[in-house]
Structure 1
C-alpha cells in the first residue's frame, strides 16, 4: 500500500503556535521531509522539533530549494521524485513548511507533481505569519467590511489594510511611499523567532531588515 503525504504548516516561528493536529501528524509520520541547506534541515524543522521532539528520532529527508528567482524546475522535480520514492515504499511522509502550506509556500511547487503521480495529499494548515504579526502588535487586521490586500515587497495605494510580505529588501522605498500616504505602519521582523523586532511607526522602521519581515499598513484613523 502506498504511503500518504502530509503538508504541515509549522506557523510563523513560535513552536507553541503549531496546532494540535500538526503535532499528532508529526508523531505518526515515518519520514520528515523539509527544505534544507547543505543537507542540514532548515528553520521549519527546528521549529517543529521544539513542538514535537519525537521527530528527532525519525528519518529525515532533506530537500534542497535554492533561494533564487531563476528556473527551479529541476530542484522541484528532484524533491517530488524523492518524496514519491518514499510514498511508493509505503511510508507516510510529512513535508514541513513555514507558516501555511498554501501561502507563499515551497510545497505548492511540488504538490501538483505528486498528485499527478497518483498519491494522496492532506494539508494541515498553519498560522500565517501576518496573523501572528498582527497579534504581536495588538492590531486588528480588518473590521466590518474593511478590505485587506496582501503584496510581496510592494506598496499599493489601498483603502483598507495593506500587508506587505517579504519587505526587508525594499524598506527604504517602502518607508518613503508609506510616509507620503500619511498612513500608519508597523514592521515585524522575525515574528516568533530569535531576533524578533517590532517597530510601531514609520519613522522608527530601519532601512534594512531580514527576509522574514512584514509591514502592516493601516488607515491613519486606526
Structure 2
C-alpha cells in the first residue's frame, strides 16, 4: 500500500508552539522531508519538540529560492518525484515547514504535484509566525472591524498595499528591508511599524519602531504596520 505525504507546520520557532498533532505525526512518520537550502530551521524546531525526530531518516530536497519560473518548476517537479518514490515504498512522509503550511509555503506546490501522481496528501496547520510576532509584541493585530492584510514583502504590489486601511503584516522582510523601509517612510509609517526578527528562535530581536531595525536584517523578519 502506498504511503501518505503530510505537510506539517511546526510554528515560528519556539518548540513549545508545535501542535500536538504535528508532534504525533513527526514521532510516528517514516521519513522527514524539508528543503536543503537555508539553515534547516523547520527541522531544528521539530527536533527541539520531538526527541524522535533526530533519529528519523531525512529527505533534503533541492528547492532553490529564486523567481526564475523555469527553475522553480523543474525543482518542484524533481522534489515531487523524490517524495513519490518514498510514498511508493509505503512510507509515511512528513514535509516540515515553518509557521503554518498554508501561508507562503513551498509545500503547497509539492502537494499539488504529488496529489496529481495519485498519492494521498494532508495539510496539518501550525501556529503562523505573525500570530507569534503579535504575542511577542504584546499587542493585538486587529480589533473590532479593522481589516488584516498579509503581504509578501519582496513582491510587486506590496508598496501599493501599504495604502490600504487596517493592519499590514509584511512577511519575510529581511531581504527587501531597504525598499520596504523607504516605502513606509514615504507614507509616514515608520513610527507605526514594529518588527520581530527570527521570532522564537535563538537570534530573536524585537524592534519597537522601523528606525531601530534599519540595516542588516534576517530573512525571517516580520513587520507589523498599524494605522
**SS of match in other structure, 2:36:** strand
CA distance in 1, matches of 2:140, 2:134: 7
CA deviation profile, 1:97-124 (whole Å, cap 9, x unmatched): 1111111101012111111111111111
CA contact under 8 A between 1:4 and 1:87: conserved in structure 2? Answer: yes
Tell me the TM-score normalized by structure 1: 0.92
Instruction: Say whether residues 1:205 and 2:213 are aligned partners.
Output: yes
Task: List, as ranges, runs of 4+ consecutive aligned residues in structure 1 with deviation greater than 4 Å.
Answer: none
CA deviation profile, 1:61-114 (whole Å, cap 9, x unmatched): 111111222131121111111111111111111111111111110101211111
**SS of match in other structure, 1:102:** coil
CA distance in 2, matches of 1:169, 1:48: 25
CA distance in 2, matches of 1:43, 1:89: 27
Listed as ranges, the gaps of 5+ residues in structure 1 are: none
CA distance in 1, matches of 2:182, 2:17: 34
Instruction: Say whether residues 1:172 and 2:170 are aligned partners.
Output: no
CA distance in 1, matches of 2:33, 2:175: 29
Instruction: Say whether residues 1:112 and 2:120 are aligned partners.
Output: no
Counterpart position of 1:214: 222
Matches within 5 A, 1:20-31: 20-31=20-31
Is the deviation greater in 18-27 or in 59-68? 59-68
Decide which structure has greater helix share.
2
Is the deviation greater in 204-213 or in 192-201? 204-213
CA deviation profile, 1:97-156 (whole Å, cap 9, x unmatched): 111111110101211111111111111101111111111001111111110111122332
CA contact under 8 A between 1:12 and 1:98: conserved in structure 2? Answer: yes
Counterpart position of 1:75: 75
CA drift of 1:41 comes to 7.5
1:159 and 1:142, CA in 2 relative to 1: closer, same or farther beyond 3 A?
same
CA distance in 1, matches of 2:111, 2:218: 28
CA distance in 1, matches of 2:98, 2:30: 20
CA drift of 1:175 comes to 2.8
CA distance in 1, matches of 2:57, 2:86: 11
Listed as ranges, the gaps of 5+ residues in structure 2 are: none
CA distance in 2, matches of 1:202, 1:60: 39
Root-mean-square deviation (CA, aligned residues, Å) is 1.6
